[in-house]
Chains A and B, each alone.
Chain A
Amino acid sequence: MKVQCELCPKRCVIKPGQSGECRVRINIDGVLRTVVYGFPCSIHIDPIEKKPLFHFLPGSKILSLATVGCNLHCRNCQNWEISQANPEDSQATFCPPAKLVELTEYHHCLSLAYTYTDPIVFYEYTYDTAKLARQANIRNVLVTAGYVNKEPWKQLLKYVDAANIDLKGISDDFYRQVCSGTLKPVQEALVEAAASGILLEVTNLIIPTLNDKPEQIRQLARWVKANLGSDTPLHFSGFFPRYKMRNLPPTSLNTLDMAREIAISEGLYYVYIGNILSDVGQNTYCPGCGGLLIERSGYTILQNRLKEGCCPDCGREIYGVWK
């Protein structure tokens, strides 16, 4: 008997013995099963700035994990060795939710990140771990492309404290041609996440010739402002030739600077540059008085001048979770 997976907008109809597009949700005797529950392929402690999250517990360590598999197949994927891997060909560690919480506490991490591939495809593992982590006062962070159906998304958001969600482009054509997905479900997931009250940051990876036109960037920034709010931090990330897109050059610092300027001119308060070193593009400035609040270099915090989440110069409250 065939089964239909209702987790993501692909709604795969899966024949017995076969998997969905994500490779990790399979039909065994007419029952949908997840083969990666409790089997992460990668567990590491990262600085939270690497996610990137710049407005959530800055300078803290975060236990980060992934299983293999992804429901998108971005031609430029930087983690394609794990995101596009078959579970049969991969190596994993047995680490059930309770063990993950224990590891997080043991290493004095304040939060747990479900990241690297896409936590949507290891949904049940993420959900159960997040629920357990919440009971232990550990915060949960998702780093995702947001390609998920509304019902499971709303259920998961109840246990999520912060998320960085990719908005890979602002056209449906881009999503179809580069990512094998569609734009609308991602926009809906972003709006739902913002409405749920979690700390939300957005990342846009700029790929030369595909989504680097000033007009495309302006349109994206306008959409973020209109639908998520001016406070939502936006990260413009640099592309590197990877996977099936080795024919394009890396994104230049000039392009990323240009994108940042456009987004600021469109009224976004916190716009950052990532995957490349920049003098000012990684710092947080007060949208009220323009004063420097957090100075960063790479993933390192050089200084944090925030006082109780407010600008020390003008007293303006800054969007974020600071402790």
Chain B
Amino acid sequence: MTRRKFIQGLIGAGAAIALGTWWLAKKASPRRFVRALQLKKYPGSLRSLRDVTKPSKWSG
């Protein structure tokens, strides 16, 4: 092996390790929160607003 080939191999391996580390770090770190976009049409059925003045039967 010539000295040039050895250095080329060394640089290639170093670059591969650096790239792999960067990819792993990117994968592992949490991504920024992005808001979900609004869907215009409700997938269920729609009804008109009922009397809101009565307390709910739901807990909370």
- Chain A interfacial positions (CB closer than 8 Å to B): 4-7, 11, 25-26, 28, 31-39, 42-47, 50-51, 63-64, 66, 68, 78-79, 82, 86-95, 103, 107, 115-116, 123-124, 127, 143, 149, 151-152, 155, 164, 275, 299
B49 interface hit (Cβ, 8 Å): yes
Alpha-carbon distance A291/B42, docked complex (angstroms)? 52
Q: Given A31-B37, A45-B52, A46-B56, output 20 extra A-B contacts at Cβ < 8 Å.
A: A6-B30, A25-B36, A28-B39, A32-B36, A33-B37, A37-B36, A38-B38, A46-B55, A50-B60, A68-B44, A78-B59, A79-B58, A82-B58, A87-B43, A90-B45, A92-B42, A92-B45, A93-B50, A103-B52, A115-B58
Alpha-carbon distance A275/B54, docked complex (angstroms)? 19
User: Smallest CB–CB gap between B32 and chain A, Å?
Assistant: 7
Q: How large is the interface on B (under 10, 10 to 19, 20 to 34, 35 or more residues)?
A: 20 to 34
- Chain B interfacial positions (CB closer than 8 Å to A): 30-39, 42-50, 52-56, 58-60
Alpha-carbon distance A275/B59, docked complex (angstroms)? 9
User: Smallest CB–CB gap between A151 and chain B, Å?
Assistant: 4
Alpha-carbon distance A194/B59, docked complex (angstroms)? 24
A-B contact pairs, 21 of them (CB 8 A): A6-B30, A7-B33, A32-B36, A33-B37, A34-B39, A36-B42, A37-B39, A39-B44, A45-B55, A50-B55, A64-B56, A79-B58, A87-B42, A92-B42, A92-B47, A94-B42, A94-B46, A103-B52, A116-B58, A124-B35, A155-B33
